[in-house]
Amino acid sequence: MLATIEGVDARTGAEALKGAELYLPREALPETEAEEYYHADLIGLRAERPDGSRLGTVCAVHDHGAGAVIEIECKESSSILLPFTKATVPEVDISGGRLVVETPEDG
């Protein structure tokens, strides 16, 4: 990604901003396409098993280059990590505040 910041036109000025957090209004982001989600939209969703029972809450989404992984905070344990794939997460309902998760125990 390439970005410019008003008032920063030299490398030393940019280096001074190292570690700074940048924010932009949600309206500035492009609309997502089908089955495409912003991480911020997934965090906080209820994670449910296929039978509707509650598994926990999505507390983070990690992506280190080999595919996204969702972290679900559960009551039974501290948290679990699952691949964010169609097989593991067959349904994402942002407006309903939930997603369906198929864990190995469900299969």
pLDDT band (50, 70, 90) for residue 6: confident
> Given 3-state DSSP classes, what are the helix, strand and coil percentages for the chain, each rounded to the nearest 5?
15, 30, 55
Q: Token pair of 18, please?
A: 């190292």
pLDDT band (50, 70, 90) for residue 1: low
Backbone angles phi, psi at 38, to 5 degrees: -80, 140
Q: What residue ranges do the domains of the chain occupy?
A: 34-106
Q: Which tens digits make up the pLDDT trace of 49-106? A: 999 999 999 999 999 988 999 999 987 668 999 999 999 999 999 999 999 999 877 6
Q: Token pair of 79, please?
A: 């948290």
At residue 24, the pLDDT reads 84
> 34-106: which CATH topology?
SH3 type barrels. (2.30.30)
Q: Which tens digits make up the pLDDT trace of 15-45? A: 999 998 888 898 999 999 998 999 999 999 9
- Average of per-residue pLDDT across 10-14: 89
